[in-house]
Amino acid sequence: MPRYFLVIEYEGTEFSGWQRQDGAPSVQQSLEDALARLGEENCLVYGAGRTDAGVHAEFMVAHVDLARHWSAHKLPLAINAQTGRRDLAVLRALQVHDEAHARFDAVERAYRYRFLDRNIRSPLRTHHVWHRNRPLDVEAMHEAAQFLAGKHDFTTFRSAQCQSASPLKSIDHIKVTRRGDEVHLDVRARSFLHNQIRSFAGSLDMVGLGRWPATRINDALAACDRSACGPVAPADGLYLMDVVYTKQLNVMLRGQSVGDQIMP
Q: Which residues are catalytic?
A: 52
Phi-psi region of 205 (alpha: psi -120 to 50; beta: other; left: phi over 0): alpha
Distance CA 23, CA 1 (A): 30
Spatial neighbors of 125 by CB under 8 A, at least 6 apart, are 116
From residue 68, give the alpha-carbon distance in Å to each of 30, 32, 95, 207.
20, 15, 12, 54
User: Which runs of E-coded beta strand occur in 15-159?
Assistant: 46-47, 56-65, 88-96, 108-116, 130-131, 150-153
DSSP, collapsed to helix, strand or coil, labels residue 138 as helix
End-to-end CA separation in angstroms for the chain: 13
- 104 C-beta neighbours (distance < 10 Å), count: 9
Distance CA 2, CA 94 (A): 10
Half-sphere exposure of 17 (CA within 13 A, CB side): 13
